[in-house]
Amino acid sequence: MTQIIDRRINGKHKSAVNRQRFLRRFKDQIRKAVSDSVDTRSITEIDSGEKINIPTKDTHEPVFNHGPGGKRDAIHPGNKDFITGDHVARPPKGGGGSGSEASDQGEGEDEFTFQLSREEFLEFFFEDLELPDLIKTQLATVDDFKSVRAGFSTTGVPTNIDIVRSLKGALARRIALRTPFSRELHECEDELEALKATPDDEFKAKRILELENNVRRLKDRIATVPFIDTFDLRYRNRIMEPSPTTQAVMFCLMDVSGSMDEARKEMAKRFFILLYLFLNRTYENIEVVFIRHHTTAKEVDEQDFFYSRETGGTVVSSALELMHKIICDRFPTSDWNIYAAQASDGDNWEGDSPNCKSLLNDRIMPLLQYFAYLEIMPHNHQSLWHHYEEIMSQHRNFDMQSIDNANEIYPVFRKLFARKHV
């Protein structure tokens, strides 16, 4: 029996090249569908595929058809209604549609539907933000280590001595060093006993003296083998092994005062989505806490966070105080890695910015893995930015950037979350 093994590239996925060609051809339609999907998805659902619908007219391929009129022969298998010589009426014009009710007017087309994979969806999502290399790029990751046993070592501190292991080694060493002398000692003692049973003569006395000297010498040699030596000591060895941290919480803080219009909220959402995707690559379990604020702060769901129309003045410290309370109540630092990202246009009540600085310095920053501040402000920075600059100079886990349009989101994100070299 002959077996054929297909070793060509994409042997099991022969349509992969055609699929990429299809995605390139309908790039505009797919990009629009992805953009529409991002607007309706939640942050935690962004990391999945998407079903894309494309009108059939957009997928039309040029083909050669018979023109109208003329005569031609055709074979229709399974024909029950016609015999040779019958005239077949031309089918009425029309087509399918996506509606669910019948109609006697108009024409329609079925839409072509296909599923984008997770990787394809993210590729188009990143492209919309000019992010072609995010999936390929290894951003900064959180390194956590735990101490694990790693056998035994010949060096260490006294508290780590393994007594059983050390005594076993000492016993083996004593056996190894004493065995040759013990064997020779037994031979001398046996010969001495046998020699004493023989008749006395001059040779016997000389040999007995010689054997007795050898017995004393061998016993002394055996006695000099120490019960335990520094060479025998074994210490429990421990090394620091990288350990994946399993859970994190991400606080999203956004200013929803009157100056934060829909365009700025949309840029903030894109930034928070990138942060969620990044943390999701690092942790198995991600909790997201949304805090919106104007003069007062409130924990809300994502829908209200981005689309609620409630507005007012700006007191940023209210959001920081609420975040600190939630951390203390629900997310102990012993169990959670805590991140915070704040998006604002920088407008804040003048007397409140020093309060923000004090809250971050004294109460919040010691609890966080990282705090990122994004200011969506193309013009001169205001008091909040200048107070935050002082915080950044004192805390390595605080960083801040500003943007003007959506194209700057990814480069700024890379700056905020690049690996910091000590």
pLDDT in tens, 249-298: 889 998 887 777 778 878 888 888 777 777 776 677 788 899 988 888 89
pLDDT number for residue 364: 93
Between residues 233 and 65, the one the model is more confident about: 233
Residue 134: pLDDT over 90: no
Q: Quote the CA–CA distance of 212 and 202 in Å, as a whole number.
A: 16
Q: Quote the CA–CA distance of 249 and 279 in Å, as a whole number.
A: 9
Hey, what's the torsion of the CAs at 130, 133, 134, 135, to 10 degrees? 130
- Any idea how long the chain is? 422
Residue 394: pLDDT over 50: yes
> Which stretch of 228-237, 318-327, 356-365 has the lowest confidence by average pLDDT?
228-237
Residue 337: pLDDT over 80: yes
What are the helix (H) ranges across 78-162?
118-128
Residue 209: pLDDT over 80: yes
Between residues 241 and 395, the one the model is more confident about: 395
Q: Which residues contact 351 (CB under 8 A, 6 or more apart)?
A: none
Residue 33: pLDDT over 90: no
Q: Quote the CA–CA distance of 421 and 177 in Å, as a whole number.
A: 53
The answer, as to whether pTM is greater than 0.85, is no
Q: What is the pLDDT confidence band of residue 130, given thresholds at 50, 70 and 90? A: very low
Residue 139: pLDDT over 50: no
Question: Mean pLDDT in the chain?
Answer: 76
pLDDT in tens, 222-244: 888 888 888 788 899 888 877 66
Residue 422: pLDDT over 50: no
Q: Which of 341, 201, 198, 365 is nearest to 279 (CA)?
A: 341
CB 259 within 8 A of CB 316: no
pLDDT number for residue 361: 92
